[in-house]
Structures are given as C-alpha cells and as structure tokens.
Amino acid sequence: MIAVLRAICMAATMMASTGAQAEITHKIVPFEELDGWSGDNHKDAFTAFLNTCADLKDPDWLSICAVAQSNMDSNPRSFFELFFRPVLIEDGGNSLFTGYFEPELEGSRHPTSRFRYPLYKMPPEAKNANTWLSREEIFSSGVLDNRGLEIAWVDDPVELFFLQIQGSGRIRLQNGESLRVGYGGANGHPYRSIGVELVRRGIYDAHQVSAQVIKNWVKRNPEAGRDLLYHNPSYVFFREISKVAAHLGPLGAMNRSVTAMRSIAVDPQFTPLGAPVWLEKDGENPIRRLMVAQDTGSAIKGAQRADVFFGTGDAAGEAAGRLRDSGRMLVLLPIQRAYALATDGV
C-alpha cells in the first residue's frame, strides 16, 4: 500500500503549518477564469453534491439543495453558475493536494495460522479516557485479548497499521464476502509517521520511502520492525459498517459515502462540509475538476489543503500515493455569502 506517503505528507504539512496566524483573504474569481471549467463533467459533481446537500443546516444551503433536488434533469453546469460564486480562500500557507483511498485486506472472521492480527472494537474504558494506553502498551499488556472485541483477523500487521492510518477499509473474507470497517475511535495519542522516523534514523532518504519499502523492511527486521510500529503511539479502533452498499464508497465526515475522484477531505475551518470545490492540481497528471468537500482529516489543515479520494483497493492506493502537488482550490459559495466574505471582489 501507499498510505504511508500520505502520512509523510501529513507530517510535513503539520510541521510547515506551525507559526504565526496569517490573515485570511477571500477573493471572488469569475467562472470563466477557472482553468478547465467548461470541459468538466458537471453532472458527476452534481450527483456527488446531491448526496450530502440535504444534510446541511444553513438555510442558504438548504434552499439551494431544494432547487437541485427538484431540478435533477437540469443543466448541472448552469446550476452551479447560477447559484454559486467561486471564492479563493487563502491563509498565507502553501497549497498541497494529496490523495487517500479505501484499503482492501485479506482476512477472516476467525483467527487461523495465517490470519493472526485482529482489528478491535473500542473497549469501554478507552471511550471514557482522554488518553488511554499507547500502541506499545496495548500490545505488551494484552489488555484487549479474549474480550470479544475482535471484528476480524488479517494476515499482515503492516497492512493493518496502514488501515488504521486511512481509518476505514474492506476485509475480503475467505468465503468471498466482504466486510467493511470504519473508524471507531482512538486511544488519544498523537500520530507519528513511521516513514519519517525511518528517514530520521538514516535508513532511507525521503524519496525512497513507500509503503512497500516499509513493509519489506519490517519483514526483514521483525523485532526492529515491531519497534518501528510502536514509534507511532496512536492506535485506531474500528466498527463494522453494514449499512453501506458494497458498490458505494466509505463513509466520510458527513456520514455519507464518498465518491471516487469527486469527494475531497478539507479543513472545515475554511471550507464548509458539503460545499462544491473547484480543484486545479498542477504537477504530473494535472486535475481540473469540480469536487465536493465531504470528508476531513486530522492533518488536513489550511485553506489550500485537500485530500482527494481515489477509490478502493491497491490501484487506488498506488494512484493516491503518487499525488503530492500544489495548485489552487476555490470554494463555490452561495452568491450572497460569497460577496459578504469577499475582501477583493471581481
């Protein structure tokens, strides 16, 4: 998997974002100045927008959602241009766009000689504690053993580690069925990147680190590999998700399924959840696409920071792991709200 690259990007972003709070600016940009706007498939973005717009609480958004729901056969591009204005929100930080995905692991409902690494539900005592046991303390104490907290077992501790980073995924069971799991809580410890730690120790250069590199290194060095995983004290628990159909994406922060290449994770301090967002990602394989802000991430911080959801499985993971580029994103806001916020109009 390539999830570790996302984690490295997150760690770097968090370090770069510390410092004095810069002024936040809002600038309205005409639709005709959005690079690639006319060539996008606005219908796909419209469908993604409909998936969560009814959950928005603000009257401005709800009235726009009602129009969208009653005009589902209308021209999607015209809908966005009629009711929204693109707003460039900047906070003085650099732009950074990365990707995430839904991992898919091999597993079993019962432990076997192959499937020995359990996914746990959150124990009651962890729910009631701001900070509970660290990752190492959980394993060394055996506090979760034989309590019926296991959801399933998988065959690779590193893949399980990366599943915890992503926060949700699917387990392919041996009978052909698929089990979906989602974030069920955490132990309250801060996340530490094991990829960054390998670089700090001088084992690899930053450009050499990938999930597969780490996985192979842990296999070659089982004791040191176990200690490397312990470097990250954060531990994520899971919950089984049965209400989401297999063909849909995992649940995002709005408790609705996210859509591959149309949903992004954002910082809700700057971008309202449920808002359409025009993304102009530069670099290799540029992206010019209307997305919808339907998820968040603990390290997705800043006005020009987003994580693009790539889908499920290894191919999605490979594509997501390659994404680390700059560019710009513009939030489509209801017209009156856009002009009320704008500090530099058109």
Across 268-273, average pLDDT: 96
Q: Which residue has the higher pLDDT, 17 or 196?
A: 196
Across 27-56, average pLDDT: 97
The continuous run of DSSP H or E covering 287 comes out as strand 287-295
In a domain, 265, yes or no: yes
Q: In terms of domains, do 117 and 231 share one?
A: yes
Nearest to 328 by CA among 35, 44, 23: 35
Nearest to 159 by CA among 113, 204, 209, 102: 102
Q: In terms of domains, do 185 and 112 share one?
A: yes
For the entire predicted model, the pTM comes to 0.80
First-to-last alpha carbon distance for the chain, in angstroms, is: 44
Which CATH number is 13's domain given? 2.40.40.10
Number of Cβ within a 10 Å radius of residue 264:
29
pLDDT digits (tens, 9 = 90+) for 215-253: 899 989 999 999 999 999 999 999 999 888 888 899 999
Task: Find the domain containing 232 and state its range.
Answer: 103-240
Which CATH number is 122's domain given? 2.40.240.50
Q: In terms of domains, do 111 and 92 share one?
A: no
In a domain, 346, yes or no: no
pLDDT number for residue 343: 64
Q: In terms of domains, do 132 and 201 share one?
A: yes
Q: In terms of domains, do 48 and 163 share one?
A: no
| pLDDT for 345 beyond 80 | no
E-strand ranges in 24-102 read: 25-28, 84-90, 96-102
In a domain, 272, yes or no: yes
pLDDT number for residue 321: 82
Q: Around 161, how many Cα atoms within 13 Å sit in the side-chain half-sphere?
A: 29
User: What's at 26, amino acid-wise?
Assistant: H
Domain count, the chain: 2
CA dist., res. 129 & res. 189, Å (int): 11
> CB of 298 within 8 A of CB of 116?
no
14 by Cβ neighbours in 10 Å (0-12 / 13-18 / 19+) ranks as middle
CA dist., res. 182 & res. 255, Å (int): 11
197 by Cβ neighbours in 10 Å (0-12 / 13-18 / 19+) ranks as middle
pLDDT number for residue 15: 40
pLDDT number for residue 21: 59
Q: In terms of domains, do 133 and 21 share one?
A: no
CA dist., res. 124 & res. 144, Å (int): 11
